[in-house]
Structures are given as C-alpha cells and as structure tokens.
Amino acid sequence: MRRTLEMILLISLSCVVLSAPVFGQRYTFFPHLASGGGWTSELRFANQGISDVMGIKITFYNSDGSLLMVESNLGAGTDISFSLPKGANQMIRISPHSTPVSGYAVITYPSEVSPVRATEIYRYAQRDTVLAEVGVAQQEAGSHFSFPVEIDSNTRINTAVGLLNPAVLGAGAQTIVLNLIKPDGNIQATATKVLQPGEHYAGYLNDATANLFPGLNSFTGVLSVSSPLGAAVVALRQDADAFGGISTDSGPLMGPFLLSGGTVFYSLEPNDNFVQAQTISGSKIISGTIGTLGDADIYKFTGRKGDLISVLCAAQSNGSDLDSVLEIYSNSDLKKPIAYNDQNGLAPQGDPLNDSFIQMALPENNTYFIKVYDYWHDGGSSYIYTLHVKLP
C-alpha cells in the first residue's frame, strides 16, 4: 500500500480516540531547529498547487517536547498559523533567542494532499560574518532512513543526526535503532536511542554523552535508522569549520538482514491467530503463503528486554502477489502492535516498495508475535513470502 503514514496514524490513533479527525491532515517536520548563540533559522513555504491552502500551522518545541516560545516576523507564540493562496510563498524568520535553544517544528497542513513545499535554512554567523548555511526540506515521518556517514577525527570530519519521535503520531515511547553499515555491507555497530513522545535528540554520532557510538573516530559508510512506528530524521555533515545537509533517503539497507543457509522453516496452517501461532526460536528463514482471502500467519517467540530483532519479508521483490504487512505484538497487549510496517520504503517507483521490514529493540522480557498478512486482505496460491527473522 502506498501511504504508510496514514496507516500509522490510523493504527496509533484509532485505538485512542475513534472520533478524532485522523484523515485530512498532513504532518511534516523540521527535525532540528537552532536559534541563538549565532544560530538563526528561517522557514520558507511555497504553495505549488492550484488551490488556496488555509490554516497552515507550525508548532515549535524544545527537545524535551515542551512548547517553545518564538518571536518572528509573523508575531510571537509557540505556534504560527497562516494561509497561502495558490502560487504564494511565505518566509518566517525566527528572531534569535537570547540564549541558544535546540528543538524542532511540526507543520500541520489541513489536507493530507497539501501541495505546500517547505524548507528550513539554518545559518551560523559570528560578528556579522556568515560562517555556515544549510537548507533542509521538510521531512515526512517514516519507519526507515539511510544516508552516508563519515567520521574522521584527524581531519575533523563528523556527522550529526536529529531524531524525533513526533507526539502527533501517537506512537508512545519508541526505541530508535541505528546501524553503522560498512562498505562491504556488514554491520559494524548498532546503537539504540529511546525517545519519549515528542522528544528530540540532536548531536554527533560519536558524542560521548549520547551513548550512540562513543569513541568512534574513523568510519566511512552508511547509517541505517529504523523506528517501530515512525520517526523523523535529519542529518548534517561537518567538515572542519563548515557544515552542510545530507540527503536522508527513505528505506533501510536490507542486505545485512538477509539470512542464508540453514533449514527453511515452513509455515503450517492453521496459524491465523495468537493461540494457533507457530513457535520459533533463533534466527529462521520461514517460507509461507497467505493462501486464502483474509489469511494471516502468526509466529511466536520468546524475547528479553533490549533484544534487537529484525524481520524482513520478501514477497513482491521475488515475484509474489502479496502486498505484505508485518506487525509485532507483545503478549502484554494483543490489541495494539508495538511495531508496524507496510512498505520498507525502498524503490519508491517499484514493486519492492510493498515489501515489509521491521528492526526493533524488545521492550521487556515476554512472549512476542510476528503477524504477516496482505494489506488488501487478499490471498491465494501466488501470495507466497519468505521471512528472514533474526533473533538473538
């Protein structure tokens, strides 16, 4: 299915307030905002469509998720609302704070098909001399991102990330998983970052206090970032005294999570509900079919708090008709998945888009369930899949 965000919203919010106007809004993010201490941020919006867009709202937050007061050319407050007639554009210049603040901004558009483009421009100046300037486009929330990373302490090259768990997605606390992928496709190191709803982290990947990759002084490769229910990500590269933006592509690097060899575990019906779930342990390649309309296949395993697991579903990338959806459930709440993925984010114009991938850290010692089904609740003999399940 092509729209991941609305499904995340549906799943996360429908459990809370059924009457909430879940559809009809689009959220985008500036996952990092800097103001004061030489930093200024400007936000620029342009209506690319042929209709007026009324009631665009930008809300500002501190890194801990509390509201951030800003002063701007459109007035002062913790949020700014404005409308953009067709073809119009609007610049918002945030007056530098008297002491440096770090935070983020959430943009709410009244329609999920909003044609408004937005860019944030960070600027760092000292004594009226601009030393660095970088533009970052508004970011959509997603489950997976990957982007090039370089760290070389000798030549003062470094990479910083901004990670945001947007409270508007209603996901609750999330553990973000970060993988450093070497040029040969192997994982060099994996780190996790817990973000409460509305919380934001910004800093260098090797920052000693952030506990992501402390002591990492030399690395060239890719960072692959995954979140169980959707996050927003931005990355910046520093080269001595200059810095610039890095394009954060949607999608993870899947290769490191493919399994090979060993015996294939075959899905066996009936396995359609939590009671019938097939038990697995250790890493497994599972071969199955969503064989009938509305079929689901469920697997069960035992995990411990902090275990890193990954589940990769290969279906359309292997010629299957299955538009896979993956969900992970904890035995402590079988009504609401703790991880959800419809599309892995790869090949936005191609079929593999519809295949699913989840990487996550388990929240507690418990029994967990992996559920596979077709997005459209279809099924048949051509709806085959291969699951690559990596368990500790």
Q: Is 24 left (phi over 0), alpha (psi -120 to 50) or beta?
A: left
Of residues 370-389, those binding Ca ion (CB under 5 A): 375
Work out whether 354 is an interface residue with Ca ion (CB under 5 A): yes
Beta carbon of residue 384, minimum distance to Ca ion (angstroms, whole number)? 13
Beta carbon of residue 389, minimum distance to Ca ion (angstroms, whole number)? 16
Alpha-carbon gap, residue 271 to 296, rounded angstroms: 7
Residues for the chain: how many in total?
A: 392
Q: Is the dihedral of CA 324, 330, 336, 341 positive or negative?
A: negative
Q: Which of 222, 238, 146 is nearest to 189 (CA)?
A: 222
Alpha-carbon gap, residue 40 to 35, rounded angstroms: 5
Applying CB under 5 A, among 199, 297, 327, 374 the residue interacting with Ca ion is 297
Of residues 319-348, those binding Ca ion (CB under 5 A): 323-324, 342
Please say which residue, 193 or 300, places its beta carbon nearer to Ca ion: 300
Please say which residue, 234 or 313, places its beta carbon nearer to Ca ion: 313
| DSSP labels, 160-194 | EEEEE--GGGT--SEEEEEEEE-TTS-EEEEEEEE
3-state secondary structure of 170: coil
Beta carbon of residue 297, minimum distance to Ca ion (angstroms, whole number)? 4
Please say which residue, 120 or 295, places its beta carbon nearer to Ca ion: 295
Of residues 250-289, those binding Ca ion (CB under 5 A): 271-272
Q: Which residue's structure tokens are 């930008």?
A: 58
Q: Is the dihedral of CA 209, 249, 117, 115 positive or negative?
A: negative
Please say which residue, 9 or 246, places its beta carbon nearer to Ca ion: 9
State the number of binding residues for Ca ion (CB under 5 A): 9
Beta carbon of residue 273, minimum distance to Ca ion (angstroms, whole number)? 9
Q: Which of 102, 44, 108 is nearest to 73 (CA)?
A: 44
From the list 22-30, 91-99, 165-173, 292-300, the region that binds Ca ion by CB under 5 A is 292-300
Beta carbon of residue 238, minimum distance to Ca ion (angstroms, whole number)? 37
Please say which residue, 120 or 374, places its beta carbon nearer to Ca ion: 374
Q: Which residue's structure tokens are 């098909």?
A: 113
Say how far residue 293 (Cα) sits from the centre of its chain: 31
Please say which residue, 250 or 271, places its beta carbon nearer to Ca ion: 271
From the list 29-37, 42-50, 130-138, 295-303, the region that binds Ca ion by CB under 5 A is 295-303
From the list 150-158, 170-178, 200-208, 293-301, the region that binds Ca ion by CB under 5 A is 293-301
User: Would you call 270 exposed, middle or buried from its count of C-beta atoms within 10 A (0-12, 13-18, 19+)?
Assistant: exposed
Residues engaged in binding Ca ion (CB under 5 A): 271-272, 295, 297, 323-324, 342, 354, 375
